[in-house]
């Protein structure tokens, strides 16, 4: 007879980067792969160490922000995972360093974005309308300029296509006024704390996206937190107003793809080894510079 520990954990969701499994007892197992996407297309090649970087950075920041809010994290140590986790692809060695056992949360159906600098879609809007997320900004700002104060700029969570920017009034319609204001206050506090920490080691956090949910009635930090996939990190030495500073993320990959005659539709062009290696190095550098730790000391380091 097959016992509960002999059954694999049910797969709930497989996304661009993560697999989400039901770990029982209102727990989930989140597994970050080395997959990478650009222009909403998943590349055929994996980026070594990417999953470990996303997990290690999230664990770092959840610990650093614990006095501001609880989180969903139970453990990132495979020794604490359910026995059935060993039956997942790659077994426990394949899960080590890239997985988190977390509590289920009642997730807010909005993306909680904080912007501290003018870049990306915010810069495009400012160039066009003189606003950021519909909010009037001072005249004469340049790309990579620091905003007068960090802005909470929520958006919808699109199941298909792109997220849609919304204001606080629309966020309140979706989640309730009290919850929207609590999300705003927590995200701004977390961003300010993280930005201060990062500045101490010569890193600018241009913007970041938080995922929030309620656990046992408390607003909690969930999913990934302040990683290169959810944030735009710049080296302070590169952050000159009027320029487009290189990010510690998939920028080498995006730059290479932009130079190819590719229509941004699947299948993507095969990536050369040099682009894979450079992109991997950027992720590792992000972790080690921002968190002040060696990735080799995190769970699952190659033997």
Judge contact between 250 and 20, C-beta under 8 A: no
pLDDT for 252: 85
Task: Give me the pLDDT at residue 159, please.
Answer: 62
- In the chain, where are the structural domains located? 1-104, 107-238
Check: CB of residue 217 under 8 Å from CB of residue 252.
no
pLDDT at site 165: 87
Low-confidence ranges of the chain (pLDDT < 70): 1-7, 158-162
pLDDT of 274: 95
Alpha-carbon separation of residue 156 from 165, 173, 197, 230, 277 (angstroms): 6, 12, 29, 15, 34
So what's the pLDDT on residue 201? 95
What pLDDT was estimated at residue 3? 44
Q: In Å, what is the CA distance from 17 to each residue of 14, 72, 124?
A: 8, 19, 27
pLDDT of residue 2: 41
| pLDDT recorded at residue 41 | 94
CATH number, domain 107-238, options 3.30.470.20, 3.30.70.1230, 3.90.700.10, 3.40.50.300: 3.30.470.20
Q: What is the pLDDT of residues 30-49, one digit of tens each?
A: 999 999 999 889 999 999 99
Asked if domains 1-104 and 107-238 share a fold, the reply is: no
* Alpha-carbon distances, residue 43 vs 38, 68, 249, 262 (angstroms): 7, 37, 15, 13
Superfamily for 1-104?
A: Phosphorylase Kinase; domain 1 (3.30.200.20)
């Amino acid at each position: 007879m097959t016992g509960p520990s002999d059954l694999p954990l049910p797969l709930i969701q497989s996304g661009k980067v993560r697999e989400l499994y039901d770990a029982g007892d209102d727990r989930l197992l989140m597994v970050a792969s080395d997959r990478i996407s650009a222009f909403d297309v998943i590349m055929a090649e994996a980026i070594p160490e990417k999953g470990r970087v996303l997990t290690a950075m999230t664990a770092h920041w959840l610990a650093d922000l614990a006095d501001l809010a609880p989180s969903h994290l139970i453990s990132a140590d495979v020794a604490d995972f359910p026995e059935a986790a060993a039956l997942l692809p790659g077994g426990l060695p394949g899960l080590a360093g890239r997985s988190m056992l977390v509590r289920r949360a009642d997730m807010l159906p909005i993306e909680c974005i904080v912007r501290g600098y003018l870049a990306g879609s915010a810069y495009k809007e400012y160039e066009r309308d003189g606003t950021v997320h519909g909010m009037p900004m001072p005249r004469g700002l340049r790309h990579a300029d620091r905003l007068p104060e960090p802005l909470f700029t929520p958006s919808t969570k699109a199941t298909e296509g792109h997220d849609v920017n919304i204001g606080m009034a629309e966020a309140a319609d979706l989640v309730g006024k009290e919850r929207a204001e609590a999300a705003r206050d927590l995200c701004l506090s977390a961003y300010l704390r993280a930005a201060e920490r990062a500045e101490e080691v010569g890193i600018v956090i241009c913007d970041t996206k938080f995922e929030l949910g309620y656990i046992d009635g408390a607003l909690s930090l969930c999913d990934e937190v302040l990683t290169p996939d959810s944030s735009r990190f710049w080296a302070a030495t590169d952050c000159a107003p009027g320029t487009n500073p290189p990010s510690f993320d998939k920028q080498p990959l995006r730059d290479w793809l932009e130079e190819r005659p590719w229509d941004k539709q699947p299948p993507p062009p095969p990536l050369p080894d040099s682009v894979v290696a450079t992109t991997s190095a950027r992720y590792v550098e992000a972790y080690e510079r921002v968190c002040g730790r060696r990735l080799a000391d995190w769970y699952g380091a190659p033997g």
